[in-house]
A and B are shown apart, each in its own frame.
Chain A
Amino acid sequence: MADFATLIDDAEVIVCCGSGGVGKTTTAAVLGLEAARTGRRVVVVTIDPARRLADALGLADGLAAEPQRIDLAGSPGVAASGELWAMMLDTEATFDGLVHRFAEDERQVERILSNPLYRNMAGAMSGTQEYMAAETLHALHGDDRFDLVVVDTPPSRNALDFLEAPGVLARFLDHRAFKLLMLPTKTGLKVLGSAAQPLLKAIGRIVGSDVLADSVAFFQAFSGMESGFHDRADEVVALIRAPETSFVVVAAPRHDAIDEAVWFAEQLVEQGVGVRAAVINRMQPAFGVGSAGDAAGETAAASDPVVAALWANVAELRTLREQEQAVISPLVDIAGADAVATLPLLDSDVHDLDGLWTIAAHLFRDADPISPSG
């Protein structure tokens, strides 16, 4: 399919997004593999700790937080310059790295890293995973070893989470609550008394006073780093929205998953980012050219019960396929028929590099034709 070939040829960053369990990680790996075949130096970043992908890529010890080179020696037809690297997102280590980068000295780093509130935020705050995925993507984009970064996003209902996440900490530090807490270090306790005291009391009543003390220490520890985080977040957001970054929406052929994907795509279009391509995974394969109705007719007409059972099987498989084709049409409409690829449900699980190559072959050389009308 021409559009997918152009995509892996000209993109510098590919972001695979969609709801959970639709095959984002596998799609990211397949795009990376094919790009490496055509001679690009690719790094695939996954947020999915699934053992299966590491196995499929031949990484016996699993995916690490540092890029590891994948051995493509056994894969014929890979261009000499082509390289595939893979890594897993490490949210906390990435966040720690940012603190190191923007802190004024080691003492400030220590104060922040040892604060329980910081540990909570690095590990659990909503949006942190998206933020660090975007941050990692930015860092890899600037890394000379790679000329294409493929990333799968955390499963999310909201495409905006990924676009807006880099601003989360900047906004958090910018917050009025934070400003109020910061006042004591700048102008003395009197101001704290009049402006922030009720706020602190209320927070303390809800979460307990020891937690509150950690919070105050946390905000004070970040003092001076706000502009560093701000500027970096702006750069990351600019890269995500830049023309060299392409979004690929991944979906499954069920009406709820397609609804989600369409909603995702609409948000991206609204944000001026747009959807470069869509992949619909695990479609029922076609058997012959007729309809489910034709097969049901053959079933009824067959005099041999074995032949009737075989036709009944075809009728069931075609019924599902027809349903799926009807269901995917809204996504085909929004992404454009040329930019949508459907990948067939395979008769076995993907568990090695050959399995990934099989999917790549379907995606790039043998894509299932789309009938926009369903």
Chain B
Amino acid sequence: MLVVELDGKPTLDQLVCGSTVDARGDTDDDAAGAGDTGIDVVHLSAADALDEYLRDHGFGRIAKRLNKTGVIDMVGTAAPGIDDVVVLGKIKQYERSGSYDLVVVDGPAAGHAITFLTSAAGLANAVRGGPVKTQSDDVLELLADEARCQVVLVTLPETTPVNEVIETAFALEEEVGVRLGPVVVNAVDVGVALPAPEAGAAAVEPLPADDADLLLAAAAFRRSRRQMEHDELARLTRELPLAQVHLGARPVAGLLAEDIEALVDDVFGAPDDPRASAGG
């Protein structure tokens, strides 16, 4: 399978430990650990994809006479969305190449996700013919085909992310018509079970006052955070009729590859522990 990364951060390589392919599709098999996971990672940037696209369409000689960002600024401004469409076109090319069973794209954040996925529709309307029109139509076909393409929205159990994911889901449905898969809710508190406030207060009575205070303060804080999470998850269920997959919060400040494996086991069951489905 192939993971496509769009924001230029190296985080993903560290998390999946796959081999990195360059944008032309050549696998760097010399990379440490390559091939172990069967996962390839590719980083696509709009500027590189557009540059490649222009070169492939006979713009190369002209492009050489101008500075690269200048041409891209100019073409990108003249036809807004073209950079997004060439990125989507490149992804479609990976999908059609037959080299991968599954292509997973780490897409842009909420606001830009809608512009990104509507770029093809906008451009297909604006341009009457030529390679850009063909490219846009191909991308629209991919997005509309439920058998080939699904969008998985990811959020956190907090007010603003839940607002954003609800808005994004409805906008994508209306403006792109793409099939939405389950919503993934990240970092749901799955820690230790807390006693009820009264039971806690009774239990700490024999303890020194300092200990009793800190135990009750920590429990009250955790309960309050959990209540917020619970309210937000309930609102998400009420306002967005999609299945939810909950991923438990890991007790770390940022995930590592081992955390990813633990999360995979949580959702799909460990190899020797065939639990079928996720929470939610």
Contact = CB atoms under 8 A, between A and B. Distances in A.
A117 B78 contact: yes
Contacts of A177: 66, 70-71, 74
B195 A306 contact: yes
B74 A215 contact: yes
B58 A313 contact: no
B79 A287 contact: no
B34 to A, nearest CB: 23
Interface stretch (B23-31, B126-134, B171-179, B237-245): B126-134
Contacts of A230: none
Interface residues of chain A: helix, strand, loop or mixed (majority): helix
Given A207-B82, A256-B254, A307-B215, A285 B74 contact: no
Contacts of B57: 205-206
Interface residues of chain B: helix, strand, loop or mixed (majority): helix
A247 interface: no
Interface string B3-19: 00001110100000000
A284 B122 CA distance: 44
B65 interface: yes
Contact of A309 (B77, B132, B194, B228): B194
Interface in A143-162: 155, 157
A326 B253 contact: yes
Contact of B193 (A171, A309, A327): A309
A207 B132 contact: yes
Contacts of B147: none
B79 A211 contact: yes
A177 B73 CA distance: 11
Given A120-B78, A124-B80, A177-B66, A313 B194 contact: yes
A74 interface: no
A171 B82 CA distance: 21
B62 interface: yes
A198 interface: yes
Contacts of A39: none
A214 interface: yes
B101 interface: no
B126 A253 contact: no
Interface in B117-175: 126-133, 158-160, 163
Given A202-B59, A207-B127, A208-B130, A50 B74 contact: no
A254 B62 contact: no
B204 A310 contact: yes
A63 to B, nearest CB: 16
Among A316, A324, A345, the one with the most B-chain Cβ atoms within 10 Å of its Cβ is A316
A206 B130 contact: yes
B207 interface: yes
B75 A207 contact: yes
B172 to A, nearest CB: 19
Contacts of A324: 253
Interface in A293-328: 298, 304, 306-307, 309-314, 316-317, 319-320, 323-324, 326-327
A212 B75 CA distance: 10
Interface in B28-66: 54, 57-59, 61-62, 65-66
A202 B254 contact: no
Given A205-B57, A205-B58, A288-B214, A310 B200 contact: yes
Given A157-B7, A313-B191, 13 more contacts: A51-B163, A121-B77, A124-B80, A126-B76, A176-B65, A177-B70, A199-B66, A202-B62, A306-B200, A307-B203, A310-B194, A314-B218, A320-B252
A199 B54 CA distance: 12
Interface stretch (B87-95, B219-227, B262-270, B272-280): B219-227
A206 B254 contact: no
Nearest to A172: B73
A125 B73 CA distance: 8
A158 to B, nearest CB: 9
Given A120-B80, A124-B80, A207-B82, A285 B221 contact: yes
Contacts of A69: none
B215 A52 contact: no
Contact of B192 (A50, A207, A313): A313
Listed from nearest, the 9 A-B pairs whose CB atoms lie closest are A255-B254, A306-B203, A347-B224, A288-B214, A323-B253, A254-B254, A287-B218, A310-B215, A327-B253
A332 B109 CA distance: 28
A255 B259 CA distance: 14
A328 to B, nearest CB: 8
A307 B204 contact: yes
A20 B109 contact: yes
B251 interface: yes
Contacts of A194: none
Contacts of B159: 52, 349
Interface in A203-231: 203, 205-208, 210-212, 214-215
A175 interface: yes
B15 to A, nearest CB: 10
Contacts of A285: 221
Contact of B228 (A214, A317, A327, A348): A348
B224 A348 contact: yes
A206 B75 contact: yes
Contacts of B75: 203, 206-207
B217 interface: yes
Nearest to A121: B77
A176 B65 CA distance: 9
A314 B216 CA distance: 10
